[in-house]
Amino acid sequence: QVQLQQSGAELVKPGSSVKISCKASGYTFTSYDMHWIKQQPGNGLEWIGWIYPGNGNTKYNQKFNGKATLTADKSSSTAYMQLSSLTSEDSAVYFCARGAAHFDYWGQGVMVTVSS
């Protein structure tokens, strides 16, 4: 069965960076886009971008250009998102999700808390 297992919660300082992971299993990792979505506490969902692990192509929501960097490791079927220059506005839960137009499988989410 398809599973997306994300890394654990992060507490990070303002101005720093964080890299979170999403390990895929149960399907051919290189054949599907992997998307990343942000959800701030009590708020809705915001699409960050996608990566196609087959060739490393990426596309970002312009709002997250320079904030998020998406990568993928085919050997371990793991997608990564690095968030840089963190501020309190980056405190949120971050989900990975498989899909093209719609997102049929989601990771459990990673809570990132930015605090000094």
Partner 1 sequence: DIVLTQSPVLAVSLGQRATISCRASQSVSISSINLMHWYQQKPGQQPKLLIYRASNLASGIPARFSGSGSGTDFTLTIDPVQADDIAAYYCQQSRESPNTFGAGTKLELK
Number of C-beta neighbours around residue 62 at 10 A: 7
Residue 101 burial by Cβ neighbours in a 10 Å radius (0-12, 13-18, 19+): exposed
Least distance to partner 1 from the beta carbon of 54, Å?
19
Least distance to partner 1 from the beta carbon of 45, Å?
4
Sole binder of partner 1 in the list 11, 30, 55, 63 (CB under 8 A): 63
State yes or no: residue 106 binds partner 1 (CB under 8 A). Answer: yes
State yes or no: residue 109 binds partner 1 (CB under 8 A). Answer: yes
State yes or no: residue 101 binds partner 1 (CB under 8 A). Answer: yes
Residue among 103, 113, 105 at smallest CA distance from 20: 113
State yes or no: residue 102 binds partner 1 (CB under 8 A). Answer: yes
Q: Any idea what DSSP says for residue 88? A: G
Instruction: Please name every residue paired with 49 in a beta bridge, in sequence order, or none if there are none.
Output: 36, 60
Q: Return the range that interacts with partner 1 (CB under 8 A); candidates 11-19, 23-31, 42-50, 71-79.
A: 42-50
